[in-house]
Chains A and B, each alone.
Chain A
Amino acid sequence: MEIHYLTAHQLKDRLEKRQISCTEIVEGVYLRIEEVGDRLNSYIRLEKESALSRAGEVDKLISAGSDIEDFMGIPIAIKDNICTKNITTTCASRILENYIPIYNATVIDRLESRNYILAGKANMDEFAMGSSNENSYFGTVKNPWDTDRVPGGSSGGPAVCVAAGEAVCSLGSDTGGSIRQPASLCGVVGFKPTYGMVSRYGLVAFASSLDQIGPLTRDVEDCAAMLNIICGYDRKDSTSINVEVPDYKSFLKADIKDMRIGVPKELMVEGIDREVKEAVYRIIKLVEDMGGIVEEISLPSLEYALSVYYIIAPSEASSNLSRFDGVRYGYRNVEAGALREMYRRSRAEGFGDEVKRRIMIGTYCLSAGYYDAYYEKAQRVRTLVINDFKKAFEKFDVLISPTSPTTAFKIGEKMEDPLTMYLSDICTIPVNLAGLPAISIPAGLSGSKLPIGLQIIGNVLREDNVLKVAYSLEKAIGFTGRPGL
């Protein structure tokens, strides 16, 4: 197989056997980027020069006899809302087009300590708001399985990089499905950890109580290895959980005998494509064949999850994004003659439509006289969602559902209808509201050769169950599809 389609653990193996050098890996990936990059638009910024020079350094370390750790010398794409010191971090927004962070996100520091290689900063929906990666100031990202279709979002770039061989793996962020949904649409593995397991320090906030960084990889093994690096307490993030981090790779056992698996019926209703549903049923059959116990379960509050999300997320966003004002950094309208005008014009010209829409929704929801009816009420319903999941996990080890109700849709298809677009995240949003860990793994291809994703949801801090089921099903499904690019 071409270098650019190998997984990180396969590459590690070859590095250990001296069958390949790190420089060759980076060159291989960049060759691929040059080949398909223009068609996919998955990167906002490439770091070829520094990547090659880092690769040279890592090769020296290896020939000096250094142990080869996971992701050492592996080119990784980083979503462009994760701060990289001295390297632009744009959030795919004009307002941060030239913003250069003065510090590294905690996850970047952790990767750097493992001698990873930054392949580039991956494209995304502006400020992580979107489900199709059409909301980028730097242009739409294309799905490698069909370049007329969207890759999903908001981590469209990170998903496409991994799917098309433009990076070995990537880091994305997930607020309502932004890792899992594009992973599903692009046929890769995407994981959103328990809220608080990965430090948010240096992740440009969209909705603070929902955001979580996570990996996009080619298989579950790479995913577990990446969790080993990025998970763990960080005193710079007050919401980070101070618990001992397990070795996630130790959960990679193909054994789900007697595991109890629930299927929330609210996530298998109308709006879900027939083919997607059928894929889930096929997997249910597989699970049962492997000795797992599958049952349907009802989580009645999930009906309100989307509404709750579209109050809480924009509310927090409206406040989080108010710092982009042209005063200290980022885009500023220099013609404005007065302060208010400078604010108004900088923000009007700096933000895209979807971001403005959400800022307006959020500002409205928090306004005097509306707060109780919207934000306050949404928080109460959020508690109901949490309680429904709690109850479900008394009975089940994991829950499974489609990741996305549909396969990749056509570019432009839903842009004029935000509400339909918002439905793309109907299966993933409840997970963020409850702060749960969940993965999307490829479940097969549709008739028109588009990937279908399966979501596996675990209880809080039960990444172990999620990984165990994901690993087992990955082996059983045996998905080997590659986009014909």
Chain B
Amino acid sequence: MKNEYEPVIGLETHVELYTNTKMFCGCRLSFGEEKNIYTCPVCLGHPGSLPVINKKAIEYAVKIALALNCKIKKYTIFHRKNYFYPDMPKNYQISQYDMPLGVGGYLDIDMGSYIRRVGITRVHMEEDTGKLLHKGTTGRISESEASIVDFNRAGTPLIEIVTEPDIRSPGEAKGYMITLRNLILFLNVSDCSMEEGSLRCDANVSVRKTCEDKIGTKNEIKNLNSFKFLQKGLEYEVKRQIKVLETGGEVIQQTRHYDSKTGTTKVLRSKEEAHDYRYFPEPDLVPIYIEDKMIEDIRKTIPELPSVKAKRFEKQHGLPKYDSSFLANNKDLSDYFEQCCRHYNNAKNIANWIMGDFSALLNKEKIIIKDSRVTPENLCKMLEIIDKGKINSKIAKAVFEEMFSTGGDPQKIIEDRGLEQISDEGLLEAIIEEVVKDNPGAVEQFREGKDKAIGFLIGRVMAKTKGKANPRIVNDIITKKLS
């Protein structure tokens, strides 16, 4: 037992809110347009300008905190976090310190075989910084001749979510981020794109022997900006720390940077070099009082969350656990699924299509389900056509592909392309007669009791009918005919 280590991980996640305007001024949020156009004296930090709180951002923050089961502080204030950096117009960030908006929540992570409950220490509000663009061929700061600052992002509302050190593996960390992302997408307050940087994550990692209660010295890991990097970065860091301890060394408290190219973490700064942020209450803003009524009003706007939804899918639609949570964890898929359920009553069939062929095509085209051309009505129509035996599953695949690319009505596609299944026994009998005549060998084998042979014969019939023959009827006729 003596050599078994376990990681102890806590995550700090930043989420950009998509309010109409910035946190402390009336500028629009930007999505990668021309540089420095969504700016004003306030978000540029011009002398004499003053911040004014965006009420919508508070609402969104409360919504997130509530969804994370946090207690909402009725009295909350902003602090200034002081440090110099060119992407910070005022050289202080308006943030929250010892009086955050939400505290003491949790998020349950379904790890398949067990549930990990991750404590949420705090949820607080702050403003985002601008973006530095390093001029030069590589775009790296160390190789650039000059850096320019784009303040379009400066002042975008941010929520920081800090967990307790409850996460016990890189996989759980990834699970937490995926669950958190799904949850926030459900709340419709952020697009949570790790690629675009609207969802960002830093991790605090330490390791300890499994028999110990005390938490070891932690390292903060930055730049874990995809689910993959989060897991890989943590895996590397955990291994690194274990190695240090195994070889008789001591883990030193540091801030480290994950390099996705090498898959390693490197020292960014030591504890001694850590910033002293000189937090103090922001004197330009007055305290925020959040009334019970406001909390209740916001609570009402929170939709059914993934974990609850999954349970309901199991109960209401009789879906297996896997299908339920697969669909429930994705707002678009679950919305689509439920729309389908209004038109068609075999939920498992719907789920199979959404999770199978449909998802495959969506992934291939890199679009989300609500942007696809297949309406829930048309998908259900197709399922009914299959149920009625008008097309078989192989043809259905082709029909669906056409629906996916053209948005067409399944019935019309089947008619236009003459894909309807042949169930006319007279017609099929004539074709089977021909097949039997042409394949005496296979007929012989069948009669000798080789079951495989019937498959071959059915295949021949299918080929002759271009796949349209009803395989069940063909099977019946052949069996009857030859026995």
Contacts and interface: CB of A to CB of B under 8 A. Distances in A.
Interface of A: 81-83, 89, 91, 96, 99, 101-103, 105, 200-205, 207-209, 235-239, 315-316, 318-319, 322-325, 327-329, 339, 343, 363, 366-368, 371, 375
B64 to A, nearest CB: 23
A91 B48 CA distance: 11
B318 interface: no
Nearest to B281: A379
Given A91-B47, A99-B47, A323-B45, A366 B284 contact: no
Nearest to A199: B50
Q: What 10 pairs between A and B have smallest CB-CB spacing?
A: A322-B91, A366-B278, A208-B283, A209-B283, A204-B47, A202-B48, A83-B48, A204-B48, A323-B45, A323-B90
Nearest to B80: A319
B389 interface: no
Contacts of B44: 328
B49 interface: yes
Contacts of A81: 48
B42 to A, nearest CB: 8
A366 B48 contact: no
Contact of B41 (A103, A315, A316): A103
Interface of B: 41, 44-53, 80, 82, 84, 86, 89-92, 149, 276, 278-280, 283-286
B293 to A, nearest CB: 21
A322 B84 contact: yes
A368 B276 contact: yes
Choose among B50, B53, B149 the residue with the greatest number of A CB atoms under 10 Å from its CB: B50
A479 B77 CA distance: 48
A201 B49 contact: yes
A456 B278 CA distance: 37
A325 B91 contact: yes
A271 to B, nearest CB: 30
Nearest to B141: A339
Contacts of A363: 278
Contacts of B49: 103, 201-202
20 contacts: A96-B47, A101-B46, A200-B48, A235-B52, A237-B50, A238-B50, A239-B283, A316-B280, A318-B278, A319-B280, A322-B92, A323-B47, A323-B89, A325-B91, A327-B149, A328-B44, A328-B46, A339-B86, A366-B82, A366-B279
Nearest to A211: B283
A101 B48 contact: yes
Contacts of A328: 44-46, 89, 149
Contacts of B89: 323, 328
B348 to A, nearest CB: 55
Contacts of A203: 48
Given A238-B53, A239-B284, A319-B280, A102 B86 contact: no
Contact of B283 (A83, A316, A329): A316
Contacts of B47: 83, 89, 91, 96, 99, 101, 204-205, 323-324
Contacts of B82: 318-319, 322, 366
A426 B86 CA distance: 39
Given A99-B47, A101-B46, A203-B48, A327 B86 contact: yes
Contacts of A237: 50, 52
Contacts of A366: 82, 278-280
B280 A238 contact: no
Given A239-B286, A323-B91, A343-B84, A375 B280 contact: yes
Contacts of B149: 327-328
A3 to B, nearest CB: 33
Contact of A236 (B46, B52, B90): B52
A371 B277 CA distance: 11
Given A102-B46, A208-B284, A323-B45, A238 B92 contact: no
A236 B50 contact: yes
A353 B109 CA distance: 57
Contacts of A89: 47-48
B48 A105 contact: yes
Contacts of B80: 319
Contact of B51 (A238, A324, A329): A238
Contacts of A329: 46
Contacts of B52: 235-238
B150 to A, nearest CB: 12
Contacts of A205: 47-48, 284
A126 B315 CA distance: 72
A239 B53 CA distance: 11
Contacts of B46: 101-103, 328-329
B50 A319 contact: no
Contacts of B284: 205, 208, 238-239
